[in-house]
Amino acid sequence: MQIDRDIESWLRLGLTEGVGSGSLRRLLVAFGDPAEVLAANQRALEGVVKKTVATSIFQRKVDEDKFAKTIEWLQDPLNSLITLADPDYPGLLLNIPDPPPILYFKGQRKFLARPALAIVGSRNATPQGFANADAFAEAASNAGFCVISGLAQGIDTAAHQGGLRGASSSMAIVGTGLDLVYPSKNRELAHKLADEGALISEFPLGVPAMSKNFPRRNRIISGMCHACLVVEATLYSGSLITARLALEQGRDVMAIPGSIHSPLSKGCHALIKQGAKLVENIQDILDELNHQPIQQIEAAPVNHNETGGLVDASSDCIDDTGLLIYFDYDSIDIDTLCIRSGLTVEAVSAMLLILELEGKIGSLPGGRYQRVR
């Protein structure tokens, strides 16, 4: 496949030694497009960027191996560069203070036109948190929102899985080059996103996972969305950074409440105290955004029990002779279940195994269990 000359100019300038996003944006303002930048003399370039950067551009200091590798990567019909000049560049992202001039894209461009909902949260999600993220993502996707997240384990993974099942799919914003998958456990999910949704990065091919990349990734997640939903987060979670960025970018921030005893609820509760929208069901999100669903299939309604924990309304259908009636909506240990049910440890352990295999409960660290939707 022949690569457009404009795209080659964008790529060559983007891969020039010392040219970062900020300097590239300044050069574009000054010269109009990458081809004009590459044609400029050094003196003109020095009027816009540092001398070392101007020298790199004028002397064509480009990583030619990476340039050739990217040109080869672009031969795949799923792969493309989305530049600031591209009509498919996400409109909301253009309005943040530091939009990435070049996005590496793999997948289906049509989902870029959909309104987006970011769903983020803890990498160490509880079973209920994972189920909530999955259900809300599917409902949001069916209501017309493309679900975006960061491909991390935990809540991000659940959000992508739920979004992919819905009508508007899901897109992952990643902190590596698109020729890499991080974390490797999500390799299968990444391939599914490429086929049925999308993967997006501002980092060139070959860039590995580094801690400094993820705050930059987070500003794109928040920048592309109409609203950011935090499902589970500790007080020190990276998800709160995404929420803060969303607020700074003028996006709505929403949070799902949880047990007052769970560390993974404290971040959400802090956001709610600071003014984030408390969300119990998909309709709360639609009402807040004044969004008319394309095809609305709601997440299972979520109610509160006496202690304030989240409960799936469908749990009312549980057989009253089963062990599940002795669960609270916080986690619980075997000893407490034995006391409440009057059953032996052996009997309770056997029942827990069956319930876990059926996906009705999840095991947590410390020998505790939690009921799942």
Residues 6+ positions from 82 with CB-CB distance below 8 Å? 88, 89, 102, 103, 105, 109, 112
- What CA dihedral angle connects 193, 198, 203 and 205, to 10 degrees? 60
Rounded to a whole number, what is the distance in angstroms from the first to the last CA of the chain? 48
The pLDDT score that the predictor gives to residue 296 is 42
What are the 10-residue block averages of pLDDT along the chain, 373 residues in total?
Answer: 83 95 94 95 95 95 95 96 95 94 97 96 93 94 96 97 96 97 97 98 96 94 97 94 95 94 94 96 92 52 36 36 71 82 81 82 82 74
Query: Collapsing DSSP states into helix, strand and coil, what is residue 361?
Result: strand
Please name the fold of domain 1-75: DNA polymerase; domain 1 (1.10.150)
Query: Collapsing DSSP states into helix, strand and coil, what is residue 58?
Result: helix
Burial 28-55 (b: 16+ CB within 10 A, else e): beebebbbebbebeeeebbebbeeebbb
Measured in whole angstroms, the distance separating CA 185 from the mean position of its chain's CA atoms is 16
- Per this entry, what is the length of the chain? 373
1-75 shares its CATH topology with 109-304:
no
Closest C-alpha among 102, 117, 80, 46 to residue 285: 117
Residues 6+ positions from 208 with CB-CB distance below 8 Å? 176, 177, 180, 182
The pLDDT score that the predictor gives to residue 310 is 37
Question: For residues 272 and 254, is the Cβ–Cβ distance under 8 A?
Answer: no
For 318-371, the fitting CATH number among 1.10.357.10, 1.10.10.10, 1.10.520.20, 3.30.300.30 is 1.10.10.10
The pLDDT score that the predictor gives to residue 347 is 81
Measured in whole angstroms, the distance separating CA 55 from the mean position of its chain's CA atoms is 38
Q: Dump the DSSP string for 335-355.
A: HHHHHHH---HHHHHHHHHHH
Q: Dump the DSSP string for 64-88.
A: HHHHHHHHHHTTSTTEEEEETT-TT
Locate the domains of the chain by residue range: 1-75, 109-304, 318-371
The pLDDT score that the predictor gives to residue 373 is 63
Q: Is the dihedral of CA 320, 323, 324, 328 positive or negative?
A: positive
The pLDDT score that the predictor gives to residue 315 is 34
Q: Which pair of structure tokens corresponds to residue 31?
A: 């010269």
Strand partners, 229: 119, 254
Question: For residues 208 and 180, is the Cβ–Cβ distance under 8 A?
Answer: yes
User: What is the pTM (predicted TM-score) of this model?
Assistant: 0.81
Q: How far apart are CA 288 and CA 254, in angstroms?
A: 9
- The dotted CATH code for 109-304 is 3.40.50.450
